[in-house]
Amino acid sequence: MIGPLILILIHSVLVAYAVIIVVFYLFPHDFYFATPLYLITPVLFFVTSYVIPAGNKLLPFKDVYLEALVCRPVASWCITTIIVASALIWTAAMFDSIHSRYTYMKSLDEALSSIGVDGVALPEPSQLAKAFNALPDRPEVPFILTRASRLLSPDLLTPMFGAYNKAFLDGVDRNAVLKRFGDYEPPHRIAIGNETSNLPRRDPIRFLTAVAFETNNQTEQKWALATLSDLRKNDAGARVQVEIWKHNLTDYGDLKDPKNQAAMQQSIDALDKLLKPDAALGFSSISFVSDHIFQQGLDYAASEKIELQSYGANAADKCRYSDDIMGNYERILTLRRRLSAADLVWWEPPGKLFLYYIYLYLGHQTINIGLDTIKMIDSCPGLMDRLQRMYDAPAFRSFQNPDTWTSATPLSPAFNGAAGVRQLRDWLKLGW
């Protein structure tokens, strides 16, 4: 009788193990937040299999099962040994994935607990870095980090903003992430995810390099530029980002010098070329123009043209880009109006768009970014009037409300307070 009893004990442990591993692998969120339910599985199996009959419908199965253990002990032990060996082999093969999922769930649970019900408290950057190391292609960490860093500094200027991002980077295993996702093919609609899970996605390389550049540390910025240039040569959005960063890191000197103006003009022309994808690309270009970086590129090109034309020698030169500038701004507004229906379309808040600060300025709200560029606008007679007419246009009137600019981004009012935590917990149920 000892042999069958030991087999039943082994089988109860196997069943519990199977439930734990399979459920955790497929539904880690359900397992992590309901662990006690699975710990009692072996006890329930043993009691219902050997001690207490579990209903008439199961009795035939129980009788056959127990008879097989008693009458065919050798076969039972062989089958059990094969099953145990197979389970151990599968566990060894999948251990890294299982461990990563558990680490991710634990780190995210700690981060969400620190955020609290009000959604205002900031999680420790080290918690986010640990989760990111485990599963860099999940959306929760980019979402939390984006919200947390902007709560520290909505205008991206305070030292605390760069320090928070730097603390996150210090905890990231960059070499492992670059090795794993260096050849990653981002989905076409990177902002709103794929059709099967509806889980938002963000390219880990683009995210990591963006965080590095926003530290405002020159060493980190050069690393971000070199990494993105090397690993995302065929990504249209990444190429626009690289061109913007190159311009940011270039000192053109005194723009009163025609040679320096010519150098800046070359940079603007290179960015303009990337923002006008060949019509032969067909529908594949839709994902590009839906990306926030496309809007940022249009906006950045417009800002540089405002600066460059302000150094014109005459009235015509001082307004030579005005039509391009207005065209870029109107295109940005049209895109944001047409693409803002989803919960999360763009990963970047509007703080990187100078047009956003123009709207704040025209709405008589206090700003501390872009004031020098706003002064340059007045170098072209009539340009500010055109911007005012755009501001007053009925088609774009909703953008007079700053909340409209944050809509469909991580800073959307829809994610304020407990709503943001609920959204994160909903995402944790998807995409495994």
SS3 letters across 195-264: CCCCCCCCCHHHHHHHHHHCCCCHHHHHHHHHHHHHHCCCCHHHHHHHHHHHHHHCCCCCCCCHHHHHHH
**Residue 153: what pLDDT?**
64
If 0-12 CB within 10 Å is exposed, 13-18 middle and 19+ buried, where does residue 312 land? middle
Q: Which pair of structure tokens corresponds to residue 244? A: 């913007």
**Residue 306: what pLDDT?**
93
> Cα(17)–Cα(10) distance, rounded to whole angstroms?
10
Place of tokens 């009458």: 71
Q: Render each residue's pLDDT in the chain as its tens digit; 432 residues.
A: 556 667 777 766 676 666 666 666 666 665 555 555 555 555 665 555 555 554 445 556 666 666 676 677 777 777 777 777 777 776 676 666 777 887 888 888 888 777 765 555 678 888 899 999 998 988 899 998 888 877 666 555 567 777 888 999 999 999 999 999 988 776 544 444 444 456 777 889 999 999 999 888 889 999 999 999 999 988 888 999 999 999 989 888 888 888 988 999 998 999 999 988 654 455 556 778 888 999 999 999 999 999 999 988 888 888 999 999 999 999 999 989 888 766 788 888 888 899 999 999 999 887 777 788 889 998 998 999 999 999 999 999 999 998 899 888 888 888 887 788 888 888 887 777
C-alpha torsion 218→267→230→182, nearest 10: 90
Q: CA quadruple 164, 170, 171, 176: dihedral positive or negative?
A: positive
pLDDT digits (tens, 9 = 90+) for 141-172: 999 888 887 766 655 556 777 788 899 999 99
**Residue 231: what pLDDT?**
93
Residue 286's Cβ-side half-sphere holds a number of Cα atoms within 13 Å equal to 8
List of residues 6+ apart from 300 with CB closer than 8 A: 244, 247, 271, 354
- Of the candidates 365, 364, 361, the residue with the CA atom closest to the CA atom of residue 373: 361
**Residue 289: what pLDDT?**
82
pTM of the model as a whole: 0.78
> Cα(224)–Cα(13) distance, rounded to whole angstroms?
49
pLDDT digits (tens, 9 = 90+) for 249-304: 988 888 888 898 899 999 899 999 998 865 445 555 677 888 899 999 999 999 99
**Residue 38: what pLDDT?**
52
**Residue 158: what pLDDT?**
65
